[in-house]
């Protein structure tokens, strides 16, 4: 069976550490990244000063000895992949090329797609807030059948032809714009980036196993020792191209629906669904953020939660807990069985605010005067929120000391979630795990209710 872990907010929920916790707790032999590209960054803190961020490879590839798959619906930056493999090898002593497999259908990002990204954002009437990593341009080119795919890397003649078609298309588009002006201040040299791109393509040709992912997945699922997968999603539900706040979304399916295309599995092979959320919300990029905190509170949460993007370093906007968003993430997955919720960053609550109540969003106000607990998209049509006060939370827990009393304050938040979502059908969700720190292993399991 394939279990799936995904983000329930706008991404940045702390999925990386919790993925490794599940891998080590439940002994998954296979891990999968099924969607997205290097605009997703999963930060992994192993303690002892060993902290890395992975953008392409599944988080569990850093553990070594685990089979790591990169699925059909991914787009891969070759040079980013190369440097990630090199840096992980240096820091952790793990060669991720030993057990890693890339789908032949995955898209390849070139510097030209990044240039396209810069052009599109510079002329956009409304800024999307893209990471500038060429994600949308690659997915768009894929649909137009004019990009390089991983299967082209295997054969040098195929690569030469596909790459030339891609370059010709991008150059035709770019000649209509003042490129030097668009790239001003971007620290982006197209010629130098292409040199690195070709170097990385050669590295991929020699070192990366590029396979028919559908066949690979079915072969692994047939064998008892490799029949248990954990699929790791990128970004979060509100960034899903179909189910998020369009157009302020990414270009792939971040919800669990994407795993079927990303791996080529059927519904009978789908196992347990995990969803990661923080007790507060964060967001980067354009679009509405209707639960945003007051500035004084936001600055404190940014400080204590180290809230800056793993891919871009941009500060994240911080928002109050939003039960409407959480309800949406649960209900759109109702066909997958109960959502097993992992609450990360339960330890983040500024000490300056411990004597003050926290606000939580419980409903949204709409332009037509209605108030709803159900999420209606797009978010730009929401004109206000309904809030309730909840008690402050803290959950500093050290597994080595087994002092569970330190977690009692966080029960207030968990009880609030269960109460606010009590009108959902029975067995819609259960809170399984509470993450109490950034490091692997800093969590406790919730007793069943």
12 carries an active-site annotation: yes
Cα separation, 269 vs 277, in Å, equals 25
Beta bridge partners of 437: none
3-state secondary structure of 291: coil
Cα separation, 86 vs 198, in Å, equals 16
- Reading the block at residue 148, the tokens are 């390089």
* Size of the chain in residues: 449
Cα separation, 329 vs 256, in Å, equals 10
Q: 443: exposed, middle or buried (C-beta count within 10 Å: 0-12, 13-18, 19+)?
A: buried
Pair type for strands 339-343 and 429-435: parallel
**Active-site annotation holder among 12, 45, 73, 245:** 12
Cα separation, 22 vs 31, in Å, equals 11
End-to-end alpha-carbon separation of the chain, Å? Answer: 25
1 HSE (CA, 13 A, CB side): 9
Rounded to the nearest 5 degrees, what angle is found at the Cα of 47, between the Cα atoms of 41 and 49? Answer: 80
381 carries an active-site annotation: no
**Active-site annotation holder among 3, 26, 27, 42:** 42
> The tokens 């059909």 sit on which residue?
72
Q: If DSSP states are collapsed to H, E and C, what string results for 365-433?
A: EECCCCEECCCCCCHHHEEEEEEEEECCCCCCCCCCCCCHHHHHHHHHHHHHHHHHCCCCCCCCEEEEE
Cα separation, 42 vs 72, in Å, equals 20
Active site residues: 12, 42
């Amino acid at each position: 069976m394939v279990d799936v872990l995904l983000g329930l907010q706008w991404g940045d929920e702390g999925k990386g550490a919790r993925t490794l916790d599940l891998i080590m707790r439940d002994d998954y032999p296979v891990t999968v990244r099924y969607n997205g590209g290097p605009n997703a960054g999963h930060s992994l803190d192993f303690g002892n000063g060993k902290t890395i961020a992975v953008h392409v490879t599944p988080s569990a590839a850093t553990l070594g000895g685990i089979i790591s798959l990169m699925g059909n619906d991914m787009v891969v930056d070759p040079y980013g992949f190369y440097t990630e493999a090199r840096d992980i090898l240096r820091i952790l002593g793990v060669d991720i090329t030993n057990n890693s497999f890339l789908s032949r259908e995955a898209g390849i990002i070139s510097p030209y797609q990044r240039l396209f990204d810069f052009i599109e954002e510079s002329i956009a009437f409304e800024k999307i807030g893209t990471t500038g990593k060429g994600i949308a341009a690659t997915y768009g080119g894929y649909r137009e059948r004019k990009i390089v795919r991983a299967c082209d890397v295997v054969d040098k003649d195929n690569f030469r032809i596909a790459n030339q078609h891609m370059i010709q298309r991008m150059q035709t588009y770019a000649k209509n714009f003042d490129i030097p002006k668009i790239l001003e201040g971007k620290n982006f040299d197209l010629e130098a980036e292409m040199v690195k791109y070709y170097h990385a393509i050669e590295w991929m040709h020699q070192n990366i196993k590029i396979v028919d992912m559908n066949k690979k997945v079915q072969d692994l699922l047939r064998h008892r020792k490799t029949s248990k997968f954990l699929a790791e999603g990128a970004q979060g539900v509100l960034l899903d191209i179909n189910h998020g706040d369009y157009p302020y979304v990414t270009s792939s399916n971040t919800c669990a629906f994407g795993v079927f295309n990303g791996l080529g599995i059927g519904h009978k092979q789908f196992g347990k669904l995990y969803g990661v959320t923080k007790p507060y919300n964060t967001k980067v990029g354009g679009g509405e953020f209707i639960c945003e905190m007051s500035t004084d509170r936001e600055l404190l949460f940014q400080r204590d939660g180290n809230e800056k993007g793993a891919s871009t370093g941009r500060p994240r906007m911080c928002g109050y807990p939003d039960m409407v968003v959480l309800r949406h993430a649960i209900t759109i997955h109702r066909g997958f069985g109960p959502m097993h919720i992992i609450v990360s960053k339960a330890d983040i609550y500024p000490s300056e605010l411990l004597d003050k109540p926290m606000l939580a969003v419980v409903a949204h106000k709409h332009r037509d005067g209605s108030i709803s607990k159900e999420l209606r998209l797009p978010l730009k049509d929401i004109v206000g929120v309904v809030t309730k006060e909840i008690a402050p939370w803290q959950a500093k827990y050290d597994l080595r000391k087994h002092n569970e009393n330190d977690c009692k304050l966080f029960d207030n938040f968990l009880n609030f979630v269960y109460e606010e979502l009590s009108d959902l059908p029975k067995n819609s969700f259960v809170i399984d795990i509470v993450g109490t720190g950034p490091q692997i292993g800093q969590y406790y399991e919730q007793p069943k209710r």
